[in-house]
Amino acid sequence: MAVEFGTGYSVGVTVFVFALCFCRSLIECMQCAVLCCDKCQLPCSRECMANSKTYAKGALMGFTFVQPMLVSGAAALQYMFTRASPFSHARFLELPAVVNASALDMPSYVIEVDMRFTAMPFSVAVAISGSLWWHMFNMGFFKNDPEWSEELFFSEESESIWWYEISYYCELLCMCFALATASASLLSMSEALYMSTTLTALLIYFAAASRYHNRTKVSMCMSMIAFSLMTAMLCSFVVSAVDTTCVVPVVCGAALVCAVFALAVVHYLAAGSFSVFDIFLVRTLVSNACVLVLVGALAAGRSSACAA
């Protein structure tokens, strides 16, 4: 059983929804770009160089907002240039319930779902979390680029940053689920959800650890246990579930492993000493790289470059 939706429909709906939801943020990004062009002259002044980080943030956020449209239109662009329709489906192995639990031959069936159904929530989550961060930045919440520490989360205006953290945790869940289903050969829905939620819980632990300066022996021991569990889970997934017969699933699996380890290590090393922009930059770059991997998988086709 295959579940698909047309490319034209998906592109149209995505563009319309994001035009409604993020029109204000897009206008603010364009306004920031206009101000940059208006103030900067050749050679650039010191004030322009000092504000270059602000314009870099605007450019990064602008790219973040267009990612859902890239995901929805990747297959259409591939067809436009090559006249070939890439085959990109996530396959789930389902075992229906049987009355005789001791039966040796349990019937099973495979559900094929268009990968855009699994990649689109991740790209939308990236855009939402980025929009929340951009809103706090424009409101002056991150003035003078403060340290990413526990004081930031228990200040008078901490409610906004907690909303951003919750949205980022949802983004992590969508990232793990999208990359796991894109790289696995046959994985049941329950297994995919279990692995995604477990990896997300471990990454949430490291994200919380990034805010605290003091590291006790107990916290270091807990971090070592969490890192060991994460390593064991990823190794088991790579060995038993990743489809090694095709190049695209292998790339998606490698992206999942690299993203999880990069986020865990950077968050643990932060220890309340990294700046807000440093944390946001690492998070955004990792998410953008994962979305681009999924866009490439949709454009090339999951079943391309497979062994004969």
Q: Is residue 62, in this structure, part of any structural domain at all?
A: no
Residue 186 lies in a domain: yes
According to the model, what pLDDT value does residue 277 have? 85
Helices (H), 98-216: 116-138, 150-153, 158-183, 189-209
Exposure of 214 by Cβ count < 10 A (0-12 exposed, 13-18 middle, 19+ buried)?
exposed
281 domain residue, yes or no: yes
Longest dimension (CA), the chain: 79
Residue 107 has what pLDDT? Answer: 55
pLDDT of amino acid 55: 63
Q: Is residue 216 part of a domain?
A: yes
How many domains, the chain? Answer: 1
CB 119 within 8 A of CB 182: yes
Which ranges of the chain have pLDDT less than 70? 1-58, 75, 77-109, 156-157, 304-308
- Backbone φ and ψ for 124, nearest 5 degrees, come out as -65, -40
Q: Which of 307, 275, 303 is nearest to 88 (CA)?
A: 303
**Bridge partners of residue 113, in order along the sequence:** 3, 90
For residue 81, tell me if it sits in a domain. no
pLDDT for the residue 201: 94
pTM of the model: 0.75
Looking from the CA of 266 toward its CB, the CA atoms found within 13 Å total 19
Cα–Cα separations (whole angstroms), residue 140 to 58, 132, 222: 15, 13, 35
For residue 45, give the amino acid letter. S
Q: Given this model, what pLDDT does residue 141 score?
A: 79
For residue 177, the model assigns a pLDDT of: 93
Q: What is the pLDDT of residue 170?
A: 94
d(CA 149, CA 262): 20
Print the domain residue range for 292: 86-300
Residue environment code for 129-163, b if the CB has 16+ CB neighbours within 10 A, otherwise e = bbbbbbbbbeeebbeeeebbbeebeeeeeeeebee
Instruction: Give a three-class secondary structure readout of 47-98.
Output: HHHHCHHHHHHHHHHHHHHCHHHHHHHHHHHHHHHHCCCCCCEEEEEECCCC
Q: Is residue 22 part of a domain?
A: no
Looking at residue 100, its pLDDT comes to: 47
The answer to whether residue 149 is domain-embedded is: yes
pLDDT of res. 83: 58
What pLDDT, on the 0 to 100 scale, is given for residue 189?
79
CA atoms within 13 A on the CB side of 293: 27
> Could you tell me if residue 25 is inside a domain?
no
Query: Phi and psi of 113, rounded to 5°?
Result: -120, 135
**Lateral strand order in the sheet of 109-114:** 2-3, 109-114, 89-94
According to DSSP, the β-strands at 109-114 and 89-94 are antiparallel
